[in-house]
């Protein structure tokens, strides 16, 4: 998703398992390095069974999540999937996270915000990271190489990254994150294809798949010069509407840097309903929206899956039911590598925000409240 150009002093409204069962309990993280909102996240994220990548362990370790019996009339949210939140006020104002904890007993495991290389949150501010940590969450930063202007040629991959023009800036972030020393999820260059507005996307400004891969590895080399082992890199392609799985797979495979260069793989999941055409202008259940790209992604990578942007429209079906479906135990059965889901809590192209209706908000709060009883222990 494309954020609008930020106004002064305001945030943009965001762009846009390894499945191990121990005594029927879900292992959330291997090995654990962080406790956030009751959930442990892993450093070098584990592979699916039998798919260990370069340098990755082949056997599980870490705490197991308790399974909780469903409440009468509703299944609890899968305790093996952490829930996070994005709002335009983050990370400056985290009152929404405090409100969640006060009303449900369970805060957000992840707090997400966007940082533009040439705009909003350009500089890495230690206070932002500390504020999120004090709220009991892990920071998830979408790090966007642009100034917010669609398809700006000054921000092509060759000019902005491969030229070395921003190396000092990249080093500043690496140095700052090394100093912070605690887990941060970093999503750089997301939706890097089939997105005409992003100046880093393949096909825009002359960018090629080779350019994207070279840029990714360029950033990783710079970070490797600092003690940034706690920084977890998310590779996040776009979804392709109703395109078949083989089409998704071919695109993803051509842009994937490899499991040795990636810690998580991500997807942005939006049920647009009939009023918005992002390739599937009709109401789709959560399993249908995520199913095809998830299947393609897990063919290409052995990494665990995180959904940094999730949203649902109000037109075409029941948003409350969509939320209930998305956050039930079905997640583990259909999407066994899924480990985290972040709600895109913004009214933008559609009313994605959780307060778009009383029923939608209640469905979210109910899911969070059930997780407080079923969360993995620290």
Q: 331: closest CA among 160, 81, 116, 128? A: 81
Per-position DSSP letters for 96-147, written without gaps between them: HHHHHHHHHS---SEEEEEEETTSTT-S--HHHHHHHHHTT-EEEEEEESS-
The residue written with tokens 């709600």 in the block is 343
Write down the pLDDT at residue 49. 38
pTM: 0.83
Instruction: Provide the 8-state DSSP code for 156.
Output: S
Band (279; pLDDT cuts 50, 70, 90): confident
User: Could you tell me how far CA 359 lies from the centroid of its own chain?
Assistant: 25
Q: Is residue 55 part of a domain?
A: yes
Q: Which of 59-68, 217-226, 258-267 has the lowest mean pLDDT?
A: 59-68
Mutual angle of helices 209-224 and 245-255, in 10-degree steps: 50
CATH number for the domain spanning 274: value is: 3.20.20.80
Q: 223: closest CA among 174, 284, 156, 188? A: 174
CB 304 within 8 A of CB 265: yes
Read off the pLDDT of residues 176-201 as tens digits, 9 standing for 90 and up.
999 999 999 999 999 999 999 999 99
Bridge partners for 22 per DSSP: 25
Write down the pLDDT at residue 58. 28
Q: Is the pLDDT of residue 302 over 60?
A: yes
Buried-exposed string 282-301: b where 16+ CB fall within 10 A, e elsewhere:
ebbebeebbebbbebbbebb
Q: Is residue 15 part of a domain?
A: no
Write down the pLDDT at residue 76. 44
CB 317 within 8 A of CB 355: no
Rounded Cα distance between 78 and 327, Å, is 6
Q: Is residue 16 part of a domain?
A: no
Q: Is residue 343 part of a domain?
A: yes
**Average confidence score pLDDT of the chain:** 81
Q: Is the pLDDT of residue 44 over 60?
A: no
Bridge partners for 36 per DSSP: 39
Antiparallel, parallel or unpaired: β 64-65 and 25-27: antiparallel
Q: Is the pLDDT of residue 7 over 80?
A: no
Q: Which domain holds residue 305?
A: 26-374
Q: Is residue 7 part of a domain?
A: no
Write down the pLDDT at residue 368. 80
Other beta carbons less than 10 A from residue 33's beta carbon: 17
Write down the pLDDT at residue 166. 98
Radius of gyration of the chain (CA): 19
Read off the pLDDT of residues 193-223 as tens digits, 9 standing for 90 and up.
999 999 999 999 999 999 999 999 999 999 9
Rounded Cα distance between 314 and 355, Å, is 11
Rounded Cα distance between 340 and 213, Å, is 25
Read off the pLDDT of residues 108-130 as tens digits, 9 standing for 90 and up.
999 999 999 999 999 999 999 99
Domain count for the chain, please give it.
1
Share of residues in the chain with pLDDT > 90 (%):
70
Q: Is residue 337 part of a domain?
A: yes
Q: Is residue 344 part of a domain?
A: yes
Q: Is residue 96 part of a domain?
A: yes
Write down the pLDDT at residue 333. 82
Write down the pLDDT at residue 117. 98
């Amino acid at each position: 998703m494309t954020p609008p150009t930020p106004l002064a002093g305001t945030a943009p409204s965001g762009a846009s398992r390894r499945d191990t069962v121990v005594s029927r309990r879900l292992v959330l993280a291997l090995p654990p390095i962080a406790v956030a909102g009751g959930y442990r996240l892993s450093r070098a994220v584990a592979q699916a069974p039998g798919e260990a990548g370069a340098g990755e362990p082949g056997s599980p370790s870490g705490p197991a999540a308790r399974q909780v019996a469903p409440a009468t009339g509703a299944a609890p949210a899968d305790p093996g999937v952490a829930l996070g939140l994005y709002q335009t006020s983050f990370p400056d104002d985290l009152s929404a996270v405090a409100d969640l904890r006060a009303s449900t007993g369970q805060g957000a495991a992840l707090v997400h915000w966007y940082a533009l290389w040439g705009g909003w949150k350009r500089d890495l501010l230690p206070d932002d990271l500390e504020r999120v940590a004090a709220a009991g969450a892990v920071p998830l930063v979408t790090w966007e190489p642009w100034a917010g202007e669609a398809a700006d040629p000054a921000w092509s991959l060759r000019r902005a990254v491969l030229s070395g023009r921003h190396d000092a800036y990249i080093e500043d972030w690496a140095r700052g994150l090394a100093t912070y020393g605690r887990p941060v999820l970093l999503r750089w260059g997301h939706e890097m294809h089939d997105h005409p507005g992003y100046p880093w996307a393949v096909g825009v400004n002359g960018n090629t798949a080779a350019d994207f891969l070279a840029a990714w590895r360029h950033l990783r080399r710079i970070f490797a010069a600092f003690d940034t082992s706690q920084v977890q890199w998310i590779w996040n392609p776009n979804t392709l509407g109703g395109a078949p799985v083989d089409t998704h797979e071919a695109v993803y495979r051509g842009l994937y840097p490899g499991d040795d260069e990636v810690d998580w793989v991500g997807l942005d999941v939006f049920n647009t309903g009939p009023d918005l055409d992002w390739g599937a202008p009709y109401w789709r259940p959560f399993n249908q929206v995520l199913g095809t790209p998830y299947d393609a992604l897990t063919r290409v990578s052995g990494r665990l899956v995180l959904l940094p942007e999730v949203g649902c429209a109000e037109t075409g079906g029941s948003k409350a039911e969509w939320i209930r479906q998305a956050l039930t135990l079905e997640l583990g059965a259909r999407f066994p590598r899924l480990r985290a889901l972040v709600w895109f809590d913004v009214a933008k192209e559609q009313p994605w925000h959780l307060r778009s209706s009383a029923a939608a908000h209640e469905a979210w709060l109910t899911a969070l409240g059930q997780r407080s009883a079923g969360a993995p222990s620290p």
